[in-house]
Amino acid sequence: MVIMFNSFAPRVVFQEVPNEVSLAFLITGCPFKCEGCHSEDSWSNTAGSALCHTKFKNYINQYQGLITCVLFFGGEWQSEQLIDHLKFAKQQGLKTCLYSGADKVSQKISKHLTFLKTGRWNKQLGGLKNKNTNQRFINVKTKITLNHQFLGN
Ligand code: SF4
């Protein structure tokens, strides 16, 4: 199966990865189905359009010089293609981040990541801006939790 992303163009975001300007891709087919999910329309793995290597490369080239990081909202369920994209982003000198709903991701993916967000959405516990959240945002290499950088945003 081909990795799919939502039909909208990727967005440049500033807060999801602290101190980075990130080009964000929302990958469809999320299997977690969290209650209260902000993007239920992306649950279907047939929603959106294919994010082939050429298309991804073109986006990166288009935003080169404007961004410092590439962020994937999901996509670990298409690990081979995700890894290809992460490798390419790193070759271009960019940092990489994955927002996953899982509590951990495989080492074959995480070794290509600079940052990783783990944990499902839980309305009672809130997201990264809530100090009681179940979610964790880490620097993959140092394993240091960076949740404090989201507090007060
Ligand atoms: S992990 Fe994120 S995208 Fe997936 S269902 Fe949960 S809130 Fe929605």
Ligand 1 pocket, mutate which of 4, 35, 37 (most atoms under 8 A from CB): 37
Among all chains, which residue has been given the structure tokens 């959405």?
A: 121
CA distance 26 to 21: 16
pLDDT for the residue numbered 86:
98
Is pLDDT of 24 > 90? yes
Q: Is the beta carbon of 39 within 6 A of some atom in ligand 1? A: yes
Residue of minimum CA distance from atom 6 in ligand 1: 34
User: Relative to the CA of 36, which ligand 1 atom is closest?
Assistant: 7
CB neighbourhood size of 17 (10 A): 24
Q: How confident is the model at residue 47 (pLDDT cuts 50, 70, 90)?
A: confident
Distances (CA, A) of 66 to 1, 61, 94, 125, 132: 31, 10, 11, 34, 34
pLDDT for the residue numbered 2:
66
* Domains with residue ranges and CATH for the chain: 4-150 (3.20.20.70)
CA distance 42 to 30: 7
Q: How confident is the model at residue 77 (pLDDT cuts 50, 70, 90)?
A: very high
CA distance 31 to 80: 17
Q: Is the beta carbon of 120 within 6 A of some atom in ligand 1? A: yes
Q: How confident is the model at residue 16 (pLDDT cuts 50, 70, 90)?
A: very high
pLDDT for the residue numbered 101:
96
Q: Provide the mean pLDDT of the chain.
A: 93
Ligand 1 pocket, mutate which of 27, 28, 33, 135 (most atoms under 8 A from CB): 33
Residue of minimum CA distance from atom 8 in ligand 1: 37
Percent of the chain with pLDDT over 90: 84
Rounded distance from Cα 65 to ligand 1 centre (Å): 30
pLDDT for the residue numbered 70:
98
Query: What is the tens place of the pLDDT at every residue in 85-132?
Result: 999 999 999 999 999 999 999 999 999 999 999 999 999 999 999 999
